[in-house]
Amino acid sequence: MLLSLLKILFFFAVVLALALGATWLSETGEMLRIEYGGMEFVLTPVKAVVALLVLVILAWLTVKLLGLLVAFLRFLAGDETAINRYFARSREKKGYAAFAEGMLAVASGEGKLAQDKAAKAAKYLSEPHLTNLLAAQAHETAGDRQKAIAVYRDLLSDDRTRFVGVRGLMRQKLAEGDTHKALLLAQKAYALKPRHKEVQDTLLDLQTREHDWKGARKTLKDKKAQGDLPKDVALRRDAVLALQEASEVLAKGNSISAREAAISAAKASPDLIPAAVLAARSYIAQKDFRNASRILEKTWSVRPHPDVAAAYAEIVPDETPVARLNRFDRLISANRDHEESRLLQAELLLAAEDFPGARRALGDLAERHPTVRTLSIMAAVERGEGADDAVVRAWLTRALSASRGPQWVCDKCHNVMHNWAPVCDSCNGFDTLTWREPDTELARPAASSTGSEMLPLLVGRDSKPAPTAGQGEIPDLSEPVQPHPPGPAAPEGRPAAASRAPRVAPGMVPRESDYDDGPEPSHTVTTPQASAPAHGGAAPAAPAAASPILAPVPETAPEETEAPGAVPELRLPDDAEPAPAPVLPADVPRFERAGRPEPALGPTPAPLDEPRMVRPDVEPLDEPAWTEGKPRR
């Protein structure tokens, strides 16, 4: 405001001074006389001022004309002149216009147009650090990677564009899938600009892909120091990297360093389940059971997981089911209301053969949140309490279509993984796996991570198990459980054989057409085998057969493809003594009534004390009923 006022006052002062000067000159009576060559010029003061101004203008025009003449002569001589600068400004204007149009073409995704504009800009402009950058981006947009790489290499020669060239080459190697060279370029770019956020993230991602855990921890430390990561996120990721570093150190045989790194990771992030399990097992290896229990109980209070329970069971591996149930009460009490705690308690009660207690511990989980694990436990409870086979099969049938429960799910791509890993197998995301129930059941692992891993909890004092095809395997729930087939009773005068699991499943009676056209059928013979005892009394003592989820699967003979109606071949162990041929009761002449000669029977073991399965579409042979002792028609 004051400045504007001063400007106005100055303007009026100048006008006033000019007016006063003109008035004074007009009132002056003296004249200006100029004599030259005998001529005299008389000028009034006003005319003298005007003549002076005209002379100044003429002198200025003369100087300009002389300068133009000199510039023209220099232009003819090849020197830089104003004319050259005029044409240069015109070229520069056209070049910047082409550069701007090329940038717009790159932004809009028009690769071919961007390449044309980049070439035009390079023609008119003498700024290679700008035109090369536009050309590289134009080649990338057009999909011509080879030309883009060549231009990025040209950018390395200029200090102003060296970082841009390294970053561009890094992106090209990432697009090609060459992570090793991309990691080297990322390290160079990080050395040029350590505070560049994109380069930091790319370097950290590549280091985790290449399992450079030590370098990744250093990069993460720099990001934390610069304030690019929240404190809790930085601690969590550092714990994950420390865990993987400990795993590699342990694989090399340095258990002390691995134990220290695992303990550090578990303390930094108590909810990191693999770190807690590794630290606990390191303590167990050192016979430090107190610290192992403390770490696992702390992790269970934050996030219960079956792996934590399995590691807790390893602290005392040879205890009885009842002792294990009492010891696990401290772990369960750390987070008693959690679903995993209730499932764990139910499984421990099953191992202790407390089936009503297992039902109470499970509560309404089978109805409120039915999973394969929950429904399998209910099937075991029903079997242990002596329920009918139809009830058990109903629970197992529901388990076929039930959810598998919580699993390791990637929060980025929703990939389901069987075991935890720091990097997702699908999207290579770092620390993106969480223990939760997947949103979709489209992608399921081959086996649930809450199945066979929980068997150590059901194992009490070790016993000598019978040789089985797969120790600790859980029966496949994709097929319903079949009841025991009926068979002939033991003949009189011979002690009934002990109840043993058969090696070969009982055969089926051939159809009527087989009697007429096919060869004479022989007896279906089965080979009994002593049942495998449950580990530590884990199998419940119930009137029905043991639950399929609590007992190991007995070994069976390899299945062979046979013709329909054929009888399976008898296979005895090499060291087994041949048993005498069975003696049929005198009042049951089965083969005489059938009108066929009695086939010769080879050595067979003692018959089973369980019924023999008969196909419902074939009329059974006349034989004494195993329930009433009467012939059945």
| H or E stretch covering 392 | helix 389-400
The rounded distance, in Å, linking the Cα atoms of 127 and 301 is 64
Task: State the Cα–Cα distance between residues 633 and 631, nearest whole angstrom.
Answer: 7
Contact yes or no for 374/398 (Cβ under 8 A): no
Q: Are 392 and 480 in contact (CB under 8 A)?
A: no
Q: Name the nearest CA neighbour of 133 among 163, 108, 113.
A: 163
pLDDT of residue 440: 61
Distance CA 508, CA 497 (A): 22
CA dihedral 397, 400, 403, 408 (to 10 degrees): 140
Q: How many CB atoms lie within 10 A of CB 363?
A: 12
Residue 263 neighbours by CB under 8 Å, 6+ apart? 279, 282, 295
Instruction: Please report how many Cα atoms fall inside a 13 Å half-sphere around the Cα of residue 379, on the Cβ side.
Output: 27
How far is CA 511 from each of CA 444, 561, 611, 619, rounded to the nearest angstrom?
A: 42, 18, 19, 9
Within 10 Å of residue 88's Cβ, how many Cβ atoms?
A: 13
The encoded tokens of residue 621 equal: 């042979």
Residue type, 419: N
The per-residue pLDDT for 622 is 46
- Quote the CA–CA distance of 234 and 117 in Å, as a whole number: 45
- pLDDT, residue 56, reads 93
Report how far residue 72's alpha carbon sits from residue 89's, in angstroms, rounded to the nearest whole number.
Answer: 18
Amino acid 270: pLDDT: 83
265: exposed, middle or buried (C-beta count within 10 Å: 0-12, 13-18, 19+)?
A: buried
CA gap 453, 420 in Å, rounded: 14
The whole-model pTM stands at 0.55
**10 Å Cβ neighbour count for 204?**
24
- Alpha-carbon gap, residue 345 to 347, rounded angstroms: 5
> Which SS3 state, helix, strand or coil, does residue 449 take?
coil
Q: Give the integer Cα–Cα distance in Å for 588 and 605.
A: 21
Determine contact, residues 138/114, Cβ cutoff 8 Å. Answer: yes
Are the CB atoms for 553 and 531 separated by under 8 Å?
A: no
Structure tokens at 361: 């511990």
SS3 34: strand
- Rounded Cα distance between 212 and 73, Å, is 69
Separation between Cα atoms, residue 170 and residue 156, nearest integer Å: 13
| Superfamily of the domain at 163-229 | Tetratricopeptide repeat domain (1.25.40.10)
From residue 131, alpha-carbon distances to 126, 245, 367 in Å are 8, 45, 68
Angle formed by the axes of helices 213-225 and 197-209, nearest 10°: 160
Chunk the chain into consecutive blocks of 10 residues (it has 633) and report each block's average pLDDT, rounded to whole numbers.
88 89 76 78 79 91 90 78 80 93 94 93 90 93 92 91 93 91 94 92 91 89 86 88 83 73 82 89 89 92 93 92 93 92 94 93 91 94 92 92 91 90 88 86 45 39 36 39 39 40 39 44 39 36 34 39 39 44 40 42 44 42 44 44
Q: How far is CA 97 from CA 86, 110, 130, 359, 390, in A?
A: 17, 17, 13, 80, 83
Determine how β-strand 39-43 pairs with β-strand 32-36. antiparallel
Q: What is the pLDDT of residue 42?
A: 79
Task: Estimate the crossing angle of helix 355-362 against helix 339-351, to 10 degrees.
Answer: 170
Single-letter code of the amino acid located at 592: E
Evaluate the CA torsion angle 18, 23, 26, 31 in order and state its sign.
negative
- Say how far apart CA 605 and CA 579 lie, in whole Å: 5
Q: 557 and 468 in contact (C-beta within 8 Å)? A: no
List where CATH 1.25.40.10 sits in the chain: 163-229
pLDDT, position 527:
38
Within 10 Å of residue 495's Cβ, how many Cβ atoms? 8
Q: Specify the pairing of strand 528-529 against strand 433-436.
A: unpaired
Helix or strand holding residue 410 (H, E): strand 407-410
d(C-alpha 152, C-alpha 138), whole Å: 12
Q: Could you give the CA distance from residue 90 to residue 255 in angstroms, rounded to a whole number?
A: 73
